[in-house]
C-alpha cells in the first residue's frame, strides 16, 4: 500500500491551515484495506478532499486517504443506477451524470468534496439531498476485514446526519456509493432562487442557475479559504419558535415534517451583529454569515476561537446553541466540537 510520511496538510484542507501529518496511507483496493487494519493506530482520520475538515494544532493524527476510482452505470426500464468510487470528485460526478442525460443531481452542483464523504453528512442544497438518490454504500469494516453493503435505510440519513457520524464512525471506510435515478425526471424548483424558473426548464439550465447562485453567494475556497457552512441550521420545537418570533419578529424558518422548525443559522449570526467581523486573521464572511473565512491565519485554532465567539454571541441573544457542521480534528483524532473546551484566546 502506498503511504507518505510527514505530509503538510495545507493543500489537503479547504481552510488551508497548517498541520503536519505523521503518516498518510493511500489504500486503493481491498488488499490494501486488509493490510491497513493491521497497522492502524488508535487515533486516525479518514480524509476525502478536506472541504469539511478543520485541523487544529501542529500535528494531525495518522490519515487514511482512500483512492477508489471509477463510475459504473447500469440501467433498468425505469432507472439509472450509478456506482461511484469514493475518491471521485462530487461536482465532476454531477457533470458526468447530467452530460449523459442522467438527471437528479443538478441542485447539488458545485458542492466541493469527494463522493465518499457525501453520505457522511448527507450533503444537501437547494431542496435536494444525497439521501434522495443514495440506495446503498459499499463499506469496508475494520473489525471483520470485509466489504459489505449498507442500504439507504441502514445509513440513517437525516439533515446533515448519517450513521457514519455516529455508531459507524472510525469503524470502517466507504469505498463506493450507489445512486439510483428515475428516468422520469421532475425538476425540484421549490427553493428561493430556483422558483422562478419555468416548469419546462432543462437539467442543464437548473445546474447553471445553481452554479450561478452558489458562486454569487459563497466565497471560493481557492481565494478565501473556508469550509462552507460552519454551523448546522438549528432545529427548535414549535413552542420555542413561537417565543422567538414573538420577541424577534419575522425570522427565516422552515417547518419540518415532525412539526419542529429549522432556523437559518446565518440569519442568527447576522442578527447577532457578527457578519463581516474579523479577528486573528480569520473572519465571518461579509455576504454569508454562516461561512467562516481564513484570510491569513495558518492556525486552525484561530478559526475555533472565532467559532466559539460566534456560538457565545448567538447563545446570548437567542438562547440557541449552534452546532458545527465542520469536522474538527486534533492530533488525537476528530473531536465533538464543544468550542469552549478548545478556546485558547478571547475574541472581541
| Residue 294 β-bridge partners | 282
Nearest distance in Å: CB 315, ligand FAD: 24
Q: Which positions from 148 to 187 touch ligand FAD by CB under 6 A, shown as an x/- string?
A: ----------------x--------xx-------------
Helix (H, G, I), strand (E, B) or coil at 291: strand
d(CA 215, CA 209): 10
Q: How far apart (Å, rounded) are the C-alpha atoms in residues 285 and 300? A: 17
Cell of 102: 442522467
Q: Which of 49, 88, 106, 178: binder of ligand FAD (CB under 6 A)? A: 49
Neighbours of 180 (CB within 10 A): 17
Q: Which of 52, 103, 162, 288 binds ligand FAD (CB under 6 A)?
A: 52
Contact flag: residue 314 with ligand FAD (CB under 6 A):
no
**Rg of the chain taking only CA atoms, in angstroms:** 20
Task: Identify whether 69 is a catalytic site residue.
Answer: no
Q: Which is nearer to ligand FAD, 53 or 233 (CB)?
A: 53
Q: Does 302 bind ligand FAD (CB under 6 A)?
A: no
Smallest separation, CB 249 to ligand FAD (Å): 28
Active site residue 154: no
User: What are the cell numbers at 249?
Assistant: 419578529
Stretch that binds ligand FAD, among 16-24, 32-40, 115-123, 180-188 (CB under 6 A): 115-123
Does 50 interact with ligand FAD (rule: CB under 6 A)? yes
Q: Does 117 bind ligand FAD (CB under 6 A)?
A: yes
Q: Which residues pair with 329 in a beta bridge?
A: 55, 334
The HSE-up count of residue 123 (CA atoms within 13 Å, CB side) is 20
Q: Is 60 in the site for ligand FAD (CB under 6 A)?
A: no
Q: Which range in 30-38, 112-120, 237-245, 262-270 contacts ligand FAD by CB under 6 A? A: 112-120
Which C-beta is closer to ligand FAD: that of 67 or that of 279? 67
Under the binding rule (CB under 6 A), the answer on residue 53 touching ligand FAD is: yes
160 catalytic residue (yes or no):
yes
Residue from 120, 163, 179, 322 touching ligand FAD (CB under 6 A): that is 120
Contact 82, 178 (CB under 8 A): yes
Grid cell, residue 274, equals 457578527
H helices of 232-292, in order, are 238-248, 265-271
Cα torsion 40, 42, 46, 50 to 10°: value is -130
Q: Which of 16, 19, 51, 229 is catalytic?
A: 229
Region near ligand FAD per CB under 6 A, out of 3-11, 48-56, 260-268, 295-303 = 48-56
CA-to-CA dists, residue 307 to 73, 240, 312, angstroms: 42, 24, 9
61 binds ligand FAD (CB under 6 A): no
d(CA 74, CA 55): 39
DSSP result, 61-75: -EEE------EEEEE
Residues lying near ligand FAD in the complex (CB under 6 A) are found at 14, 45-53, 66, 86, 111-114, 116-118, 120-121, 123-125, 164, 173-174, 218, 221, 226-228, 327
User: Which residues does the annotation mark as catalytic?
Assistant: 160, 229, 325
Amino acid at each position: 500500500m502506498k503511504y507518505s510520511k510527514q505530509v503538510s496538510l495545507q493543500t489537503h484542507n479547504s481552510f488551508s491551515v497548517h498541520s503536519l501529518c505523521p503518516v498518510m496511507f493511500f489504500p486503493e483496493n481491498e488488499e490494501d484495506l486488509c493490510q491497513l487494519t493491521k497497522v492502524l493506530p488508535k487515533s486516525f482520520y479518514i480524509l476525502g478532499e478536506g472541504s469539511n475538515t478543520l485541523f487544529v494544532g501542529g500535528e494531525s493524527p495518522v490519515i487514511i486517504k482512500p483512492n477508489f476510482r471509477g463510475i459504473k452505470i447500469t440501467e433498468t426500464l425505469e432507472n439509472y443506477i450509478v456506482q461511484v468510487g469514493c475518491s471521485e470528485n462530487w461536482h465532476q460526478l454531477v457533470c458526468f451524470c447530467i452530460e449523459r442525460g442522467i438527471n437528479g443531481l443538478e441542485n447539488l452542483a458545485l458542492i466541493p468534496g469527494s463522493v465518499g464523504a457525501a453520505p457522511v453528512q448527507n450533503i444537501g442544497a437547494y431542496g435536494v439531498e444525497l439521501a434522495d438518490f443514495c440506495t446503498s454504500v459499499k463499506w469496508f469494516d475494520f473489525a471483520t476485514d470485509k466489504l459489505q453493503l449498507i442500504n439507504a435505510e441502514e445509513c440513517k440519513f437525516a439533515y446533515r446526519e448519517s450513521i457514519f457520524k455516529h455508531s459507524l464512525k472510525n469503524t470502517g471506510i466507504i469505498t463506493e456509493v450507489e445512486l439510483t435515478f428515475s428516468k422520469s425526471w421532475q425538476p425540484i424548483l421549490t427553493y428561493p432562487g430556483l422558483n422562478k424558473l419555468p416548469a419546462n426548464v432543462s437539467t442543464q439550465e437548473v445546474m447553471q442557475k445553481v452554479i450561478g447562485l452558489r458562486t454569487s453567494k459563497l466565497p471560493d475556497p481557492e481565494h478565501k479559504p473556508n469550509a462552507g457552512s460552519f454551523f448546522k441550521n438549528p432545529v427548535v420545537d414549535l413552542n420555542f419558535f413561537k417565543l422567538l418570533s414573538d420577541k424577534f419578529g419575522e425570522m427565516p424558518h422552515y417547518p419540518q415534517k415532525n412539526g419542529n422548525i429549522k432556523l437559518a443559522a446565518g440569519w442568527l449570526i447576522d442578527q447577532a451583529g457578527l457578519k463581516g467581523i474579523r479577528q486573528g486573521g480569520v473572519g465571518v464572511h461579509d455576504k454569508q454569515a454562516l461561512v467562516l473565512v481564513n484570510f491569513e491565519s495558518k492556525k486552525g485554532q484561530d478559526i475555533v476561537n472565532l467559532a466559539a465567539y460566534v456560538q457565545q454571541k448567538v447563545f446570548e441573544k437567542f438562547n440557541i446553541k449552534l452546532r458545527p457542521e465542520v469536522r474538527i480534528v486534533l492530533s488525537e483524532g476528530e473531536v465533538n466540537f464543544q468550542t469552549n473546551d478548545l478556546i485558547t484566546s478571547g475574541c472581541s
